[in-house]
Chains A and B, each alone.
Chain A
C-alpha cells in the first residue's frame, strides 16, 4: 500500500464531506431535510453502544445469509451447469422467483415466523442473494470448452475429477464476480427485514427507531454506518478473490 493508494481515496472522502457540509449550510436546510456531517457525528457518538451491538447483528446476519446463498447457489449452479435437462427445468422457476420484488416477501416471511428475528433476517438475505451465484456458476460450467474436458476425459478421468480439477477452478472468476453482486444484495435483504420487523435488532431497527422518534441525524448516521459496513464486506470479497482467483487478473500492457 503506497501513500497514493491510501491518500487519494481518503482525500476524495474528505472533499466529499466538506462539499456536503457546505451544501447543507449554503441552502440552510433543516436536519430533517438533509442532515450535515456535523449533525451526524454527535448522533453516532450518542448511540455508540447501540451502533456497535446492532452493527454486529447486521453484520453476522448478512454474512450468514450470504454463506447460505453461496452453498445453495453453487449447488444449484452445479446441477444446472452439468445437466441440460435440469437447466431447462429449473431456469424458468428460478427467473420467476427472482422476479418477485423481495420487499413483498419481507412481510410474508415476517408473518410466517413471527419473532424469529435472526432466522427471518438471514432467510431474506439468503433469498435475495443466491440467484446471481447460481446463474454464474451454471453459465461457467455449461460454457466450458469441450477441449478442456477432453484433455482429462481422454485419460479416463472421472466426471468428478474433471469437475474438481478443471471446471470448478475455471468458474471461480465468474463466481467471485457474482459474489460481489450477492454481498450487496444480502446486505439490502438484511436491512429490509430489520426495518420492517417490529421489536427487532440490527442497524435497520435503529434506523426505524430514529424514524419513530423523529431523530433525523440518527437516521443519517445509520446510513453512513451501513455504507461503511458495505465497503468492508465488499473489500473482504475482493481480497478473497485475489487469493483464490488472482490468476485471472492480467497485468495491463
Chain B
C-alpha cells in the first residue's frame, strides 16, 4: 500500500530578531491511504507548523512533503482544514458557510448538487434544522460540527484537523468523537489530527505519532489496534489503559522530564 501523506526529514526554523528559531528538526510521518494519524507532543513543539506544511501554506527549509505521490509546492484544493477556532463567517448562514470551499474549488457539481451535499453533511453531523441559522446562534460544539462539514464538503483527499475539539467541554468533545467516526465511515479521507488529548488520539485514529519538544522530531510511533467504529467504553479497557500509559511516558520524555 502506498502512503498518501509522506513527510521526509523535514527541518524548519522561523526567523526571529534574535536569530533563527528551529521548530522542526527531522520530522518523519507516513499515513497510508484512508489512514488516520494523530500527532501529539508538548505544547509549542511545532505541531501547527506541521499542519501548515502539509496544507502547502509554507515550505520547509529542508526535507519534503508528498501528498499522493506529488511533491507539495503550494496549497492544493485536495486538502481540507479545520482548526480549534471554527472560524465561521458571521455574515453567512450555516449552509452558506459549509458551501464556502465549493466557491473556490471546482468539483463538477452543479449548484443543486452542491447544496444537497452540504445539507447531507449537516444532517450527518446532527445539524439538520440549523442550515439557515447564523453562527452566532449556535453553541461552540455545533459551530465545530459546521466547521467539520466545511472542511470535507469539497471531498478532500487529505483532512487536517488542528486541535478541532480542544476548546470544547469534555462531554461535547466525546459527542464530537462519535460524530467523527460517523463521518469517517461515510467520507473517504486520509487524516492528520493534531491534539493534546491522548484519549482522543487513540479513540479516533489508527496511528499515534509523538513529537519531541522543540525543535520537534518524530520520537515515537504507536499503532492503535482498535479498528472501525469505537465505543467510549473502549477507552476504559486494560488495553487502552496500557496504550495511554505508554503514550503518557513518551510525552514525559518529550517534555524532558524523564530520561529516556
Q: Which residues of A contact B (CB under 8 A)?
A: 145, 147-148, 150-157, 161, 165-166, 169-170, 172, 245, 247-248, 250
Q: Interface size bucket, B side?
A: 20 to 34
Report the bound CA distance from A197 to B55 in whole Å. Answer: 61
B residues with CB within 8 A of A: 52, 55-57, 74-77, 79-81, 83, 85, 87, 89-91, 100-101, 103-105, 134, 136, 150, 154
A154 adjacent to B81 (CB under 8 Å): yes
Contact B56–A165 (Cβ < 8 Å): no
Asked if residues A150 and B55 are in contact (CB atoms below 8 Å), the reply is yes
A82 CB, min distance to chain B CBs, angstroms: 17
Please name the residue on chain B nearest to A152 by beta carbon.
B104
**In contact, A169 and B87 (Cβ under 8 angstroms):** no
Contact at A154–B89, with CB atoms within 8 Å?
Answer: no
Contacts beyond the supplied A151-B101, A153-B57: 15 A-B pairs with Cβ under 8 Å:
A147-B83, A147-B85, A150-B55, A151-B100, A154-B75, A154-B79, A154-B81, A155-B75, A155-B101, A155-B105, A157-B104, A165-B103, A170-B89, A170-B91, A247-B136
Docked CA distance A186–B233 (Å): 67
A248 to B150 Cα, complex, angstroms: 21
The contact of B104 among A156, A247, A248, by CB within 8 Å, is A156
B81 in contact with A156 (CB, 8 Å): no
Q: Would you call A169 and B104 a contact (CB within 8 A)?
A: no
Give, as a whole number of angstroms, the nearest-CB distance from B1 to chain A.
26
Which of A156, A170, A245, A248 has the most chain B CB atoms closer than 10 A to its own CB?
A156
Q: A156 CA to B81 CA in the complex, in Å?
A: 12
Closest 5 CB pairs of A and B: A247-B91, A154-B55, A156-B75, A155-B104, A147-B87
Which residues of A sit under 8 angstroms from B85, Cβ to Cβ?
145, 147
Task: Let me know if A145 and B75 touch, CB within 8 A.
Answer: no
* Distance in angstroms between the alpha carbons of A152 and B105 in the assembled complex: 10
**Chain B contacts of A170 at CB under 8 A?**
89-91
- Give the interface SS of chain B, mostly helix, strand, loop or mixed: loop
Chain B nearest CB, measured from A165 CB (Å): 7
- In the assembled complex, the Cα of A103 lies from the Cα of B77 at a distance in Å of 55
Nearest-neighbor residue (CB-CB) of B93 within chain A: A247
How many pairs of residues, A versus B, come closer than 8 Å at their CB atoms?
59
| Secondary structure of the A contact surface, majority rule | helix
Please determine whether A156 and B57 come into contact, CB atoms closer than 8 angstroms.
Answer: no
Per the bound structure, the CA–CA distance linking A152 and B55 in Å amounts to 11
Chain A's closest residue to B75 (CB) is A156
B90, A150: Cβ atoms closer than 8 Å = no
A residues in contact with B79, CB < 8 Å = 154-155
Known: A155-B105, A156-B74, A247-B134. A150 touches B89 (CB 8 A): no
Q: Is the CB of A151 within 8 A of B87?
A: yes
A247-B87 contact in complex given A155-B79, A161-B104, A165-B100, C-beta closer than 8 Å:
no
Chain B residues near A172 (CB-CB < 8 A): 91
Cβ–Cβ contact B134 & A150, under 8 A: no
* Cα(A124)–Cα(B103), bound, Å: 43
Roughly how many angstroms separate A147 CA and B51 CA in the complex, as a whole number? Answer: 12
- Asked whether A154 and B105 contact (CB < 8 A) given A169-B91, A247-B90, the answer is no
- Which residue from A154, A169, A247 sits with its C-beta under 8 Å from B56? A154
- Does B89 lie within 8 Å of A169, measured CB to CB? yes
Cα distance, A247 to B100, chains bound together (Å): 17
Question: Given A156-B75, A165-B100, A250–B57 Cβ distance below 8 Å?
Answer: no
Query: Do A150 and B76 touch across chains, with their CB atoms under 8 A apart?
Result: no
**Complex A-B: 19 CB contacts under 8 Å:** A147-B83, A150-B55, A151-B100, A151-B101, A154-B56, A154-B75, A154-B80, A155-B75, A155-B77, A155-B79, A155-B104, A155-B154, A156-B75, A156-B105, A165-B100, A169-B89, A170-B90, A247-B90, A247-B91
Across the interface, name the chain B residue whose C-beta is closest to A169: B91
Report A170 CB to chain B, min CB distance, Å: 8
Note all chain B residues with C-beta closer than 8 A to A156.
74-77, 104-105
Contact of A151 among B56, B76, B150 (CB under 8 A): B150
Closest to A249 in B: B136
Are the CB atoms of B75 and A153 closer together than 8 Å?
A: yes
In the bound complex, residues from chain B placing their C-beta under 8 Å from that of A154 are 55-57, 75, 79-81
Smallest beta-carbon distance B187→chain A, Å: 17
- Residues in A whose Cβ lies below 8 Å from that of B136: 247, 250
